[in-house]
A and B are shown apart, each in its own frame.
Chain A
């Protein structure tokens, strides 16, 4: 057969990819050495871009090479439900239609996201096939598939029973737009041109101290003032009381080593509900945490005259009020890092909230050891240092998200707030019956949780070992 004179890639590629679907089926019983890759599942948020093309081309080169070289080479494909990212793109669609997720309700909204998933999930698979990816398509998974959901639930229940998952009130990153908690890695820090406000706090019995802050609106939640214990300028103030402007709250002045005498005036306002460092100082000195923000980032009732204003409005109103009262010393331009929600770009607020967390230390230790001992090898090797450094400094990981799209947290609450973590509703009720000695009504946690595993490693539908090898 002669080849046509001219090579027409579009014609050839369009014709061939359709015929390849069934070719890549793998047989776990084969005698060949195993070579396997699990795809980093593309998010169903949209079409594939050049980054996916690169990542998947490289995987396919490896898989094809190993398959031809005599391995049972299995490439497990899948797509990721991508909780917050997908919820956001669908919400944007709804805005265009003049509605929102609350109007649709949880079920209606989930329905819309599933429709989105059908559309883009199918398109992504088609794009991968067109790229030539020789995945075993019979093993295609989606991270919200029933089988995987089972695995994810098992993971949660197991970690909870082992004491590695806990629920509590801790400082987290809050996105007021998405109205959900975020983990540290979902927050991007950007340098912004802000201002440093120098504000006068009167002292009980006369005189004043000056504090410096980039977020004056958070002073509504101040419950103390701190100075460095060795700072000669302020040592004598320790033990005295300052008065919070506008609200008149009494603020004990404490000494804390964390205060940097070089920053601003050397006097730190303490807002335990909205700053991790302040939370720590507050905890040591028994200062209460006063949350001043609503879920949507507006000021709550604690903010007195500024209640219901959004953050920006409250800031302007408060600064104007301080100026009126002669308490604003000066304002200087100041460049500083501000955390933004990776998904929607809105500035996040650190705040104390009731969330679910994973204890990282006991999990991180073996994960570091695996890399140190060469069980897992990074290529290029410089990445192992990045990985180890990150795990070294890791803090407990906030896993709950106030989203509607994702794996629902398998926790149920009794009338008194008692928590029952179980594989399903039935098991939760059985636990509750034992606990209360009678049938009670349980309420399942509204939130979803993010997970790293089992991801695509979870259960696949039962299938008989078949070889897809064309003979």
Chain B
């Protein structure tokens, strides 16, 4: 930077903001640099030292050539690409001492990149006829919801990066992109994009475009190549790397819309699970009867019947407070609401119940073995934290499956 001369660089950039380093060279030069910096310049050479973890393989062993467990960046360049490597590393970079890395995670990152690419393709294709002057309709619940979720994601990414929680920042942007924007918003958007209301369509197109334009800079620091390439195709005359990083804005946070969409997601999730439990043919359209608090039920029935139709194959949804299910009816629960799906004539009810009984006993065995593992002190103390957490999540998953299966049997008696 110019020392021993007081150059412009030294004045401006010394001390540096942060030193990012592995702990293996903590003494080698971190301590030395602090000592010498203080001695010669009168100030330590950096304000913060972020100590990044050491990469180990799936079994927690240090990677080394002799163990043949090395993930070589040169090879990854050919097989997955550098963005995939970057994203995998960022998403695994906790503040622990060891970072487990496996090819499986690189595959997952590659899938994510494909998701990003396809998402961008969809948005660009769906908005190429966007007319900026076209009259727009009132934003739909899902428009308000995605803006709110995006705003929260922007906040989260900024906060976590400021705290060097790279894994949480990467995970937040990953979950928003995949599990909110792609899984829900794009699917719901199709209702208006392919519908026959030009104003609703224009509104939806605008939200799609805005979200993409904000999501790309948010993703950029993690995966610069793919985002820059998409940006180039969008015809930006400046590079994405110099676009403003998104800033949060409180007026986009919309609790009401989040509650609405939360209800819709829960209902669709429950209906899909019921359909899977009872092996309802994918193409079969069902009737949905909702009982319980009227306000919530009406929200679903009145505002989201098209969404239920598209995403859960519900031909008709209605509210009936005093509904008493007849014989072959699947029952689900979302909060205080009861969801009923009559399946008479769609599935062989008796046979399904029989199968559910069998499945239940199988599931009980699995759950038993997981629970006894979790009850084992030795396992809890000795197994790596993430393995314990994974086992706990598995058990919880089985428990909720179990609750549903038991409910089917109960409702049939």
Contacts and interface: CB of A to CB of B under 8 A. Distances in A.
B228 A16 contact: yes
Contact of A61 (B3, B74, B166, B244): B166
A415 interface: no
Nearest to A456: B1
Contacts of A119: none
Contacts, number: 296
Interface string B10-24: 111110111111110
A277 interface: no
Interface residues of B, number: 105
B28 A185 contact: yes
B230 A3 contact: yes
Given A57-B90, A379-B51, A16 B225 contact: yes
A391 interface: yes
A414 interface: no
Contacts of A20: 241
A419 interface: no
A453 B225 contact: no
B120 interface: yes
B9 interface: yes
Contacts of B233: 1-3
Given A61-B222, A74-B13, A127 B73 contact: yes
B9 A460 contact: yes
Nearest to B11: A28
A57 B109 CA distance: 15
Contact of B50 (A23, A58, A74): A58
A12 B229 contact: yes
Contacts of A2: 121, 124-125, 128, 233
B284 interface: no
A23 B228 CA distance: 13
Nearest to B10: A457
A7 interface: yes
Nearest to B41: A457
A356 to B, nearest CB: 15
A442 to B, nearest CB: 25
Contacts of A460: 1-2, 7, 9
Given A9-B113, A376-B44, A457-B14, A23 B82 contact: no
Interface stretch (B32-40, B285-293, B371-379, B392-400): B32-40
Given A459-B7, A460-B1, A9 B81 contact: yes
Contacts of B14: 36, 457
Nearest to A388: B31
Interface in B19-77: 19-23, 25-41, 43-55, 63, 70-74, 77
B224 interface: yes
Interface stretch (B93-101, B250-258, B340-348, B355-363): B93-101
B330 interface: no
Interface in A48-89: 48-55, 57-62, 64-70, 72, 74, 76
Contacts of A49: 63, 70, 72-73
B2 A459 contact: yes
A17 B77 CA distance: 13
A40 B23 CA distance: 12
B201 to A, nearest CB: 20
Contacts of A1: 233-235
Greatest chain A CB density within 10 A among B43, B82, B222 is at: B82
A188 to B, nearest CB: 11
B351 interface: no
Contacts of A159: 39
B227 to A, nearest CB: 10
B225 A60 contact: no
A68 B40 contact: no
12 contacts: A9-B225, A13-B225, A26-B13, A28-B11, A36-B16, A40-B19, A55-B20, A58-B89, A72-B12, A375-B43, A375-B44, A453-B37
Interface of B: 1-5, 7-14, 16-23, 25-41, 43-55, 63, 70-74, 77-78, 80-86, 89-90, 93, 95, 99, 101, 110, 113-114, 117, 120-121, 124-125, 128, 161, 163-164, 166, 217, 220-222, 224-226, 228-230, 233-235, 238-239, 241-245
Given A363-B36, A460-B7, 19 more contacts: A7-B113, A9-B84, A9-B226, A13-B81, A17-B225, A34-B13, A64-B221, A68-B242, A132-B83, A151-B3, A370-B44, A377-B48, A391-B31, A452-B35, A457-B1, A457-B45, A458-B2, A459-B1, A460-B1
